Amino acid sequence: MNNIYLDYAATTPVDERVTAAMQPYFTQVFGNPSSLHRFGQQAESALEKSRRVLAGFLGAKPSEIIFTSCGSESDNLAIKGAAFAARQQSRANHLLISPIEHPAVLNTANQLADLHGFDLSFLPVDKYGRVSPAEVQKNLREDTFLVSVMDANNEIGTINPIAEIGGICRERGIYLHTDAVQSGAHSPLDVNSLNVDLLSLGAHKFYGPKGVGALYIRSGTDLSPMLTGGSQEFGQRAATENVPLIAGMAAAFELVQVEHDQRTNHILPLRDYLIKQILTKIPSSQLTGHPEERLVNHASFVFEGVDGNLLISILDGTGFACSSGSACKTGDPEPSSVLTHLGYSPSWALGSLRVTLGKDTTAEDIDSFLNVLPGCIHQVRELKS
Ligand SMILES: Cc1ncc(COP(=O)(O)O)c(C=O)c1O
């Protein structure tokens, strides 16, 4: 049977070179980076080297990189940290986000509104899920302290015009946070050309380990720490740093940059072929997200009259791992809020399919997938009628 993984937006396998880079820090160089003795100093040197690697590729200073435990934590620190600092310093109370952010941003912003009285408003998005810089300009207020717009959307792959949005925020002296967790694997990210003050990353999306992330914090950006305690990570995040995972994140991020062109040249034609074939072969199908401004490995669709969760199970049964945006709540599927937001009716939105490719996906994998998908969709439609 096939055993083909096409869900690289969910997570990626750790690259063997990354595993090798992490290995010494579990057993040999195991000191606490805050200890003064040589064991501690060795660990600290590995930690600072990793920080320099990330900073170098992001166009940042090492002191602007904070290691966290995941992309979600980076989002939380950026948003809550900015909110509580703003409240303390300037009394600014307004937070502006895109309505189709990942739950790590959406639920964090909602919690700030519900529990702490912050004023939250949502930017409009077009049919591809893009935020327009003009809308940001229009929706900024005197008391806005932060705008948060994701670099690329996890469900539909659309990339936002972050640099332009950042230019507008900068003119008004308002912080811009971008969740770049999905783009970390693909786009060369430069915090200066992107005009961002805060940028979140998570290592497991780019062949690094799970349980480690990073937040870029432009120097001078006021954030209240969320994890209080010791003075690690420049006082922005207490806790003994997870040196093996941080070393793994740096090794994986370096490979993203070094192999960027090779990976893109491999993945992009496969993705384009996949999209074209699916839209041609499958009746009542549509691409979701932007046709061009999208992640290079990302193909997402809706099929009318299909139960997306059932389709995922049937595909899994034939040996293909993909995902669907609809959440299954006690057997009663609900369409993804992202697709609903983009205006898809439930009969389309419930039939969503996300196929995300990786650096090791082959043309044969895609052909085998294309051989089974039309039959699976037909089967799901038949079961429904
Ligand atoms: C856009 C985006 N933001 C944040 C996250 C959360 O990252 P993590 O799983 O590392 O907490 C994800 C993970 O799917 C994501 O796709």
300: Cβ contacts below 8 Å, ≥ 6 apart: 155, 156, 157, 287, 288, 289, 325, 352, 353, 354, 355
39: domain CATH number? 3.40.640.10
Query: Which one of 70, 102, 207 would you pick to mutate in the ligand 1 pocket, going by the greatest count of ligand atoms within 8 A of its CB?
Result: 102
Could you say which residues of the chain have pLDDT below 50? none
- Degrees to nearest 5, angle at CA 74 with 70 and 356: 55
Same domain, 342 and 231: no
The count of residues in the chain is 385
- Is the CB of 202 inside a 6 Å radius of any atom of ligand 1? yes
C-alpha 323 to ligand 1 mean position (Å): 15
Domain termination residue (choose one: 258, 291, 313): 258
DSSP H or E stretch at residue 279: helix 260-281
Task: State the pLDDT at residue 20.
Answer: 98
User: Ligand 1, from 11, 72, 105, 295: best to mutate by most atoms within 8 Å of Cβ?
Assistant: 72
Could you tell me if the CB of 102 is within 6 A of ligand 1?
yes
Q: Which amino acid is at 198?
A: L
Residue-level pLDDT at 301: 98
The answer, yes or no, to whether any atom of ligand 1 lies below 6 A from the CB of 104, is yes
pLDDT of residue 327: 61
Output the domain CATH number for residue 287. Answer: 3.90.1150.10
Calculate how far, in angstroms, residue 211's C-alpha sits from the geometric centre of ligand 1. 11
244 and 303 both lie in a single domain: no
Q: Are residues 317 and 245 in the same domain?
A: no
Nearest CA to ligand 1 atom 8: 71
Is 4 within a domain?
no
- Expressed in angstroms and rounded, the spacing between residue 182 Cα and the centre of ligand 1 is 7
Provide the domain count of the chain: 2
3-state SS, one letter per residue, for 307-367: CHHHHHHHHHHCCEECECCCEEECCEEECCHHHHHCCCCHHHHCCEEEEECCCCCCHHHHH
pLDDT number for residue 331 = 60
Question: CB under 8 Å to 222, separation ≥6 — which residues?
Answer: 82, 85, 86, 89
Q: What's the pLDDT score for residue 330? A: 54
Ligand 1 lined by 212 (C-beta under 6 Å): no
What pLDDT, on a 0 to 100 scale, did the predictor assign at position 221?
Answer: 97
Whole-number pLDDT of residue 2: 83
Distance in angstroms (rounded) separating the CA atoms of residues 158 and 382: 32
